Chains A and B, each alone.
Chain A
Amino acid sequence: MIRIDRSIIFQIINFLTLVFLLFRFLFKPVVKALDERSDRIRREFEKIEEEKKALEEERRRLEEELKNLKEKYLEMLDQANREAQKIKESIIQEAYREAEKIQREYERRAKREMEQLLLELKEDIVDISEEVAKRILKVHITPEVQTRIIEEMLEEAVSRLEAQLGSTHEG
C-alpha cells in the first residue's frame, strides 16, 4: 500500500526549491516590509518622545522664567513701596516744615499787629487820660499832683494791657 520510490528525490528537491523561491519572493519582502514599518513606528515614537522631552524642557524653562519674573516683580514692588514710603515721608516733612513756616509767619504778623494795636491803644489812653485829668484838675488839683496821677494811671494801664496780651498769646 505504501510505496517509497525514487520520486522522493524529486519531492525533496521540489520542496527545497520552494523554500528558496518563497524566501526570495514572499518571506524576504514581507519581513522587510514589516521591519520597515516597525522601524518607522519606532522612529515616530522616538521622535514623539524627543518632542515630548523638548516640550518638557521648554515648560521647565518657562516655569523658571516665570518664577524669576515673579521674584523680580516682587522685588520691584518692594522697592517701589520703599520709594513711595520715602516720598511720602519727605512730603509729610515738607508739609510740616511749610506749616511751621506759615505758623511762624502768622505769629510774627499777629505780634506785629498786636504791638501796633497796643501802641495805638496807649496813645488813645494817654489822650483820654489827659482829657480827663485836664477836666478834673480844672476844678481842684495842682499841676504836680495832676502829673503824678497821670503817670500812675498810665503805668497801671500798660501793665494790665501787657498781662492781657500775654494771656491771649498763650491761648
Chain B
Amino acid sequence: MEEIFNPQVFFVFLGIPVTKTVVSTWVVMGFLVLFSFFLTRRMRPVPTRLQNVLELFVEAILHLVEEMSPGNGKRFLPLVGTLALFIGTSDVAGLVPWLKSPTSDFNTTLALALVVFFAVPFYGITIKGVRNYFRSYLSPSPILAPFHVISEITRTVSLALRLFGNIMGEEIIIAILFLLSPLFLPLPMMLFSIFTGIIQAYIFTVLSVVYLSAAVESSGH
C-alpha cells in the first residue's frame, strides 16, 4: 500500500529519481510506439481490421477537435491523440502484474496537465499572435486579468488532481480487496477500472480540447 503513494526509486539519473512510475511510463510508451510502428508500417488502401481501429480512433479525435475548434483538427491531433492514448493505456497498465499505472502518480498527471497548460498559450500565440492572444486576458475588463490567470492555474491543477484521484482511488480499492482476498474478489473492481480508466482518459482529453479551442477562438469571449 505504501508503494501506491511513494513509488519505488530504481536509480537516480542526473539527480532525478527514476521511480517505478517512470519505468512503467517507459513500458507504456514502448508498447504504444511499437504497436503504432508495426500497425502503420504497411498502410493498405483497403484497411485491415487493426488499421480500421486505428483509423477510427484518429478520426474520432479529429472529429472531437473539429467540433469544438473547426479547422484545427490536424494541428491538435498529435497532442490530443497522444493524451488520449497515453492516459487510456496508463490507466489500465496497473492491471498488468509488476507495472504501476503512471496516472496513479501525481507527478505524471501534473506533468500532463502542465503540458496542456503550456500548450494553450503556445497554440493561442501561434494561431492568433501575441497581441491578440494576451488581449483575451483583458476581456471583458482588464480587472479580470488576474482571475483569468488564476482560473488557468486552478483548472490545470484540477485536471491533474481529477485524473490522479480517480486512478489512485481505484488502485487503493483494488489493493485493499487484494489484501482481503487475493483470489477473485478484486476481479470485478479490476474490470470496472478498465471502464473508469477509459472514461477518465476521455474526460482529460475533452477538457484539454476545450482549453485549447478556447485559446484559439478568433472572436472575443
Give chain A residues whose Cβ lies under 8 Å from the Cβ of B86. 15, 18
CA distance A34 to B55 in the complex (A): 7
Of chain B, the residue at the smallest CB distance from A32 is: B43
Number of A-B contacts (CB under 8 A): 117
Check if A8 sits within 8 Å of B82, measured CB to CB: no
**Is A9 engaged at the interface, CB distance under 8 Å to the other chain?**
yes
Give chain A residues whose Cβ lies under 8 Å from the Cβ of B5. 1, 3
Given contacts A8-B107, A15-B86, contact A22 B81 (CB under 8 A): yes
Number of interface residues of A (CB under 8 A): 34
Binary CB contact string for chain B from 48 to 79 against chain A (1 if under 8 A, 0 otherwise):
00010011001100100000000000100111
CA distance A14 to B58 in the complex (A): 21
Given contacts A4-B110, A29-B43, A33-B55, contact A14 B37 (CB under 8 A): no
Binary CB contact string for chain B from 1 to 45 against chain A (1 if under 8 A, 0 otherwise):
000011000000001111101100110010011001101100101
Check if A14 sits within 8 Å of B74, measured CB to CB: no
Check if A18 sits within 8 Å of B110, measured CB to CB: no
Query: Which secondary structure dominates where chain A touches chain B?
Result: helix
Given contacts A8-B110, A33-B55, contact A22 B45 (CB under 8 A): no
Interface size class of B (residues with CB under 8 A): 35 or more
Check if A7 sits within 8 Å of B16, measured CB to CB: yes
CA distance A30 to B77 in the complex (A): 11
Give chain B residues whose Cβ lies under 8 Å from the Cβ of A141. none
Give chain B residues whose Cβ lies under 8 Å from the Cβ of A11. 21-22, 25, 102, 107-108, 111-112
In chain A, residues 12-26, which have Cβ atoms closer than 8 Å to a Cβ of chain B?
Answer: 12, 14-23, 25-26
Of chain A, the residue at the smallest CB distance from B56 is: A30
Query: Which secondary structure dominates where chain B touches chain A?
Result: helix
CA distance A36 to B39 in the complex (A): 17
**Is B202 engaged at the interface, CB distance under 8 Å to the other chain?**
no
Give chain B residues whose Cβ lies under 8 Å from the Cβ of A15. 82, 86, 111-112, 115
**Is B203 engaged at the interface, CB distance under 8 Å to the other chain?**
no
**Is A145 engaged at the interface, CB distance under 8 Å to the other chain?**
no
**Is A27 engaged at the interface, CB distance under 8 Å to the other chain?**
yes
Partner of A31, one of B77, B105, B106, B164: B77
Task: Give, as a whole number of angstroms, the nearest-CB distance from A150 to chain B.
Answer: 136
Give chain B residues whose Cβ lies under 8 Å from the Cβ of A34. 55, 58-59
Check if B18 sits within 8 Å of A7, measured CB to CB: yes
Q: In the complex, which of the residues A1, A9, A10, A37 has the most CB atoms of chain B within 10 Å of its own CB atom? A: A10
Check if B33 sits within 8 Å of A21, measured CB to CB: yes
Task: Give, as a whole number of angstroms, the nearest-CB distance from A134 to chain B.
Answer: 140
**Is A6 engaged at the interface, CB distance under 8 Å to the other chain?**
yes
Check if B55 sits within 8 Å of A30, measured CB to CB: yes
Check if B106 sits within 8 Å of A27, measured CB to CB: no
Partner of A6, one of B17, B43, B58: B17
Check if A12 sits within 8 Å of B19, measured CB to CB: no
Check if B106 sits within 8 Å of A2, measured CB to CB: yes
Partner of B58, one of A8, A18, A20, A31: A31
**Is B114 engaged at the interface, CB distance under 8 Å to the other chain?**
yes
Check if A30 sits within 8 Å of B58, measured CB to CB: yes
Check if A14 sits within 8 Å of B25, measured CB to CB: yes
Partner of A27, one of B45, B81, B114: B81
**Is B190 engaged at the interface, CB distance under 8 Å to the other chain?**
no
Check if A14 sits within 8 Å of B26, measured CB to CB: yes
Of chain A, the residue at the smallest CB distance from B44 is: A33
**Is A152 engaged at the interface, CB distance under 8 Å to the other chain?**
no
CA distance A5 to B59 in the complex (A): 37
CA distance A16 to B29 in the complex (A): 11
